[in-house]
Chain A
Amino acid sequence: SQQGEEDPQALSIQEGENATMNCSYKTSINNLQWYRQNSGRGLVHLILIRSNEREKHSGRLRVTLDTSKKSSSLLITASRAADTASYFCATDSGGSNYKLTFGKGTLLTVNP
């Protein structure tokens, strides 16, 4: 079963614009992670935010987490054509297994 659910399912923007993707989940988490998948580089880990954190930055990425609403957002600023990919949120519900549950993803298309 899938824990996270991304919104929107697809997003198309112009280069230079910002892209925002959202993720909602159902059960309590230890941390939430975002991954990117494209045909060239496969599935790549982007950023991790722990349950006691509210915001985290990495380069052009900004992630927020609202545990009261069980939701997270990923903002990509000043998008580039190379950002075209599917973006997945994945939740770690804690425990000793470090097991991730992935959502269905948002397909981002950045037009040159």
Chain B
Amino acid sequence: EAGVAQSPRYKIIEKRQSVAFWCNPISGHATLYWYQQILGQGPKLLIQFQNNGVVDDSQLPKDRFSAERLKGVDSTLKIQPAKLEDSAVYLCASSSAGTGAFLGGQYFGPGTRLTVT
């Protein structure tokens, strides 16, 4: 089966600019996650969708970050305006959580490495 797709793979922007990341989850996966991974740390959950509804966005900096999942499939994560501390890898993951096929694991995409200068 095809994995989780993300684009772009790399992005360099200046602070105060805006940026958007795109994710296409594994077909049939109801749950989609966006994580931020700062160098040397583990992934931190930013937002979790089940179908097209948000189930957890408690760690999303809502003054500058936004995310949507239209039609319960693809998702975009946007940062506007970006700060230096937003430099990180942004990972998208999906799982079958919420369906009878769920076994517990999440499937991750390759990530987008963002550098803010």
- Within the complex, the shortest CB–CB distance from B5 to chain A, in Å, comes to 12
Verify A45–B109 contact, CB threshold 8 A: no
Q: Which residues of B are found within 8 Å of A90, using beta-carbon distances?
A: 42
Residues of A within 8 A of B (CB): 2, 4, 31, 33, 42-45, 48, 88, 90, 92, 96-105
* Chief secondary structure at chain B's binding surface: loop
Verify A97–B56 contact, CB threshold 8 A: yes
Q: Which residues of A are found within 8 Å of B43, using beta-carbon distances?
A: 43, 88, 102
Q: Which residues of B are found within 8 Å of A104, using beta-carbon distances?
A: 40-42
Surface stretch bound by A, among B18-26, B62-70, B75-83, B97-105 = B97-105
- Within the complex, the shortest CB–CB distance from B42 to chain A, in Å, comes to 3
Which residues of B in the span 57-114 have a Cβ within 8 Å of any Cβ on A? 91, 93, 95, 97-98, 102-111
Total A-B contacts with CB atoms under 8 angstroms apart: 53
Verify A43–B108 contact, CB threshold 8 A: yes
- Within the complex, the shortest CB–CB distance from B48 to chain A, in Å, comes to 6
Q: Is B45 an interface residue (CB 8 A)?
A: yes
Number of interface residues of B (CB under 8 A): 25
Q: Which residues of A are found within 8 Å of B31, using beta-carbon distances?
A: 98
Verify A48–B105 contact, CB threshold 8 A: yes
Residues of B within 8 A of A (CB): 31, 40-45, 48, 55-56, 91, 93, 95, 97-98, 102-111
Verify B104–A101 contact, CB threshold 8 A: no
Verify B111–A100 contact, CB threshold 8 A: no
Out of A31, A43, A100, A103, name the residue touching B45 (CB < 8 Å). Answer: A100
Out of B42, B55, B98, B104, name the residue touching A92 (CB < 8 Å). Answer: B104
